[in-house]
Each structure stands twice: as structure tokens, then as C-alpha cells.
A and B are shown apart, each in its own frame.
Chain A
Amino acid sequence: MAGFLSLLRRIYLSVYNWTVFVGWFQVLYLAVKTVRESGHQHVYSAVERPLQLAQTAAILEIFHSLVGLVRSPVSATLPQIASRLYLTWFILWSFPQTQTHILVTSLVISWSITEIIRYSFFGLKEALGFAPSWLLWLRYSTFLLLYPTGISSEVGLIYVALPFIKESEKYCIRMPNKWNFSFDFFYAAILVLGIYVPGSPHLYGYMLGQRKKALSKSKNE
């Protein structure tokens, strides 16, 4: 029974990782194609569907962590998924005026390259039991460039969205109400920008540590 469940887990995770891999591959392909053929303003409309599908599917990864299907702790996956979903749905989708900005292109390319590497890495590990060392190297090296470009794009787009957020009053809860509660999406967005200040160096530092561990471990093997 245990062997059967373990096999089931492997099949499920292989299917999951490769499916999401295909989604992100589509995003990268369409983004590059559109930028070259039509210009950066059209990138969003070209990638919208695969981007939303691939990024939202990542919610399953929280579930995978919680039930112990994968080893990574929830505390590591949650902040990353939260910021991705925030940008995908609460900035880009909610405030269309941001969709034509050039930062969308840099964002989407940074994200998709990172995810293609990550999902193929896990996809191979689950399906074949191992991943080639060059893929391991890519996984723990491309972030050196892609984290700064990705994070700058995220921060930049949130900043660009601010005036539209303030004007539209979307997602705001005003008083008076029965539960004496209020929420201002504009100030929440500013708070999110604030979190990026200590959050980004912390995440980058964490990845540097992971890189050292992973690459030295593979050298010793």
C-alpha cells in the first residue's frame, strides 16, 4: 500500500510540474514573440490566460506543503506565492491601465524563465528520480539576475498602479458599517511596497545560502 501511494504521489507531482511547466513555457514564448512582432504594449493581452492559469495553479503548492507531499516548508512558499498572486490578480488584472507598461514584459519574462527552470527541475526529479547537474546549476544561479529584475518589475508595477488604485477606490471598505471595519487598498499597496524593502534582501540572502548548500553538496557527490 505504501509503495502504491508513493508511486501515486510521484505520478501526481510529475503531472503537476510538467503541466505548469508547459503553461510557463507558453507565457515565455508568447511574451518574446509579441514583443518582437507587436511591441511591449501588447504583451499582457497575449500572455494573460496562460499567466493566470500557471500562476494561480501554484496555490496547490501550499496544499502540497501542508499535507507533506513535498519537503519545502509552507513558510518559504507562502510569501512568494502571495506576491505573485497579488501582482497577477490585484494589480495587473484589476487595473488595466498598468497592462501596457513595459515593466509587464520584464516581469513576465523574469517570472517565466525562473518557473520554467524550477518546474522542469522538479518534474525531472519526480519522473526520473534525478535532475541533471546543469539544471541544478541553472536553478540556483539564474535567480542572481532574475530576482532583481523580477522584484524591480513587481515594485515598479505596484508603484505605477498607485494613482489608479487611489482614484478607483476598488477593494475598499468604508465606514460606517456593522463590524466597524475599514480597509483602504491604496494604503495597503503602500504597505506592500514597504514590505519589499526588508523582504527582498532577506529572500535574496536566503537564496544565496541555498545556492551555496546545493552547489557544494553536488560537488561532493
Chain B
Amino acid sequence: MKVTVITRSGREIIKGGLDLNHSATVSDLQEAIHRRCKKYYPSRQRITLPVQPGSKERPVVLNPKKKIEDYYDGKSDHLTVIFKDLGPQVSYRTLFFWEYLGPLIIYPIFYYFPVYQYFGFGGERIIHPVQTYALYYWCFHYFKRIMETFFVHRFSHATSPLSNVFRNCAYYWTFGSLIAYYVNHPLYTPVSDLQMKIGFGFGLTCQIANFYCHLILKSLRSPDGSGGYQIPHGFLFNIVTCANYTTEIYQWLGFNIATQTVAGYVFLVVAAFIMTNWALAKHRRLKKLFDGKEGRPKYPRRWVILPPFL
């Protein structure tokens, strides 16, 4: 069959179109485009079906694993697809690794090295026990995240735009530096011993719960990287759609109860805001996918992310 590849403005990206086998997959199509245009490697391509002009519906994105004929009625011998360049891409593993490496390295710098003299705080520095525990807790957290990135998580998409590397690293590295600055400060004021223990104890429990949530999420997807969405079951997922985000937020709350800095709490609020947006999108997507019709299971009533609020 002949495939015409055009951009959203109607310009033909592949002059003369492509000739493909009837049983060709979308991935084959992407490879063919890549062969004609070296610049557009497959993960950079977004292929969609043409939308009726004036239609408000979101375009159908072609899944690389499926056959092209799955998207057409099979009778046609000439198809048109819409191409969009997603820009340079990096794998999610690369993105996460660089995001998390920053905090892992920056925080100990503030703890171990005499940096505060450059902020005008020379002289003696007494290190409180809470500051040492905070160092261990923080570094363990980001070490855990990196390990999960390489050994646990199964991503719904293989790649993310390169620009996200700069944006995300700015976010993590800036907040990491800010929190590290205040917690390790020579004039840092510790909270009570009891409050510290409660904070770290609670935080650690939530980190363990969070890890278990990630294991459950991993088991929902097959190892061949085909992504896809299933209804999560078990543990906290029976009550909350995004139990992984819930435990992550509470884990930061534990850290802040123990260390008590404005910077830490601001980070908590911003992170919670970001995760809540993700959770709402995921909850909506699952409800739409699992609508109870045509033999599909119906998505059960659950909290989105933070019972009893949302």
C-alpha cells in the first residue's frame, strides 16, 4: 500500500510517499520515514490519523507496535498519515538519571565541604545529629530513585523531549541546592529529638511503601516495554489510584517534619502540586479506558491521590 506522509499544515514530508507491505507495522512505517529522512529517528516521530476539519477530537496516535491496517478499514490501498516532529529525544532513563544525580551530589557538598564561608558564614560549624541523619535520608532517597529508574520502572513511553532534561534538572538541582543550603547551615536550628524521630520514622516507612508501590506498578506491565495501562490492584492501590505519588508526598512530609525548613516545605508543596496534576490525568485516563462497556472492566471508585481531599 502507498502511504502519504504530510505535516499538520499539509506539506508533504516524504516526497512521493512510501510503499509498504499490507501487513506492515507502524514501526515499519517509522523506519521507512527515518531511512528517507535521517534526522527523524523513530522516537522523534508522532504519527496520527488525519482529523476531520473542524472536529474537536484529539487525533489518534499510531502505536508503533500495531499494524497500520489496524487503523484503516483494510480496503484502502492509499493512506495518509500526519507527521509531527517531537524534537530531539532522550530515553526516560537518561532523563531521570541526570535529574536525580544532581541532588545526590549537591547535598553532600553542603554537608562535607566548607562552602558557607563563601556566603559570609566563616568560622566554627557544629553538626547536629539531625543534619547527619538528613544527609543519609536524602542520599538514600535519590539513590533509591536512580536504582528504581534502571531496575524497576517500566515506562509508558520510551523517550522524552531533550528540552525536558534542562527543565527538570533546573527544578531538582535548584531545590536540592536550596534545601541542602538551609539544612546544613551553620546557624541551623534543630527540632526536638522526638519530632526528628517521628519525621524520619514516618518518612522511611513511606519510602518503603513507595518502593512496594513501584514493584506493583512494574508487575502491571510486561518486560518487552510495550507500556499500556492496567487497573492497579493490591496494597494501597485498592484505595488510591496513584498510591505511589501519595507515598512520595508523605515521605517528603516526613523529611520536613524532621528537618523543618521553609525551603523543604515549599518543595513539598510544589512537588505535591505537580504530582496531583499527574494523578488527575492518570485517574481520568484509567476511568476513560475502563468504562465498563464492551466487556471491559469498570474502574472502581477510588481516591485520586490524597485522601480525604482528592
A residues lining the B interface (CB < 8 Å): 175-182
Least CB separation from A179: chain B residue: B262
Given A176-B187, A182-B182; 14 other pairs, CB 8 A cutoff? A175-B187, A175-B189, A176-B188, A177-B189, A178-B260, A179-B260, A180-B188, A180-B189, A180-B259, A180-B260, A180-B262, A181-B261, A181-B262, A181-B263
With the chains together, A177 CA to B189 CA distance in Å?
A: 6
The contact string, 1 if C-beta is below 8 Å from chain A, for chain B 225-268, is 00000000000000000000000000000000001111100000
**B185 close to chain A: CB less than 8 A:** yes
CB distance from A167 to the nearest CB of B (A): 16
**B183 close to chain A: CB less than 8 A:** yes
CB distance from A200 to the nearest CB of B (A): 21
B152-182 with Cβ < 8 A to chain A: 182
List the B side residues contacting A177 at CB < 8 Å: 189
With the chains together, A106 CA to B245 CA distance in Å?
A: 52
Least CB separation from A182: chain B residue: B182
B residues lining the A interface (CB < 8 Å): 182-183, 185, 187-189, 259-263
Contact: B188 with A175, CB < 8 Å? yes
Least CB separation from A174: chain B residue: B187
Contact: A176 with B189, CB < 8 Å? yes
With the chains together, A181 CA to B260 CA distance in Å?
A: 9
List the A side residues contacting B182 at CB < 8 Å: 180-182
With the chains together, A175 CA to B261 CA distance in Å?
A: 11
Least CB separation from A173: chain B residue: B262
With the chains together, A175 CA to B181 CA distance in Å?
A: 12
Least CB separation from A178: chain B residue: B189
List the A side residues contacting B261 at CB < 8 Å: 179-181
With the chains together, A176 CA to B183 CA distance in Å?
A: 12
CB distance from A110 to the nearest CB of B (A): 34
CB distance from A166 to the nearest CB of B (A): 13
With the chains together, A176 CA to B187 CA distance in Å?
A: 5
CB distance from A176 to the nearest CB of B (A): 4
Least CB separation from A177: chain B residue: B189
List the B side residues contacting A178 at CB < 8 Å: 189, 260
Least CB separation from A183: chain B residue: B262
Least CB separation from A180: chain B residue: B261
With the chains together, A177 CA to B183 CA distance in Å?
A: 12
- Pull 6 A–B residue pairs with CB atoms less than 8 Å apart, ordered by A: A177-B189, A180-B182, A180-B185, A180-B260, A181-B182, A182-B182
List the A side residues contacting B260 at CB < 8 Å: 178-180
With the chains together, A175 CA to B125 CA distance in Å?
A: 14
List the B side residues contacting A175 at CB < 8 Å: 185, 187-189
List the B side residues contacting A182 at CB < 8 Å: 182
CB distance from B160 to the nearest CB of A (A): 24
List the B side residues contacting A176 at CB < 8 Å: 187-189
With the chains together, A100 CA to B187 CA distance in Å?
A: 39
With the chains together, A180 CA to B183 CA distance in Å?
A: 7
With the chains together, A180 CA to B191 CA distance in Å?
A: 10
With the chains together, A175 CA to B187 CA distance in Å?
A: 6
List the B side residues contacting A179 at CB < 8 Å: 260-262
With the chains together, A182 CA to B189 CA distance in Å?
A: 12
CB distance from A65 to the nearest CB of B (A): 20
List the A side residues contacting B259 at CB < 8 Å: 180
CB distance from A187 to the nearest CB of B (A): 10
Least CB separation from B185: chain A residue: A175
List the A side residues contacting B183 at CB < 8 Å: 180
Least CB separation from B183: chain A residue: A180
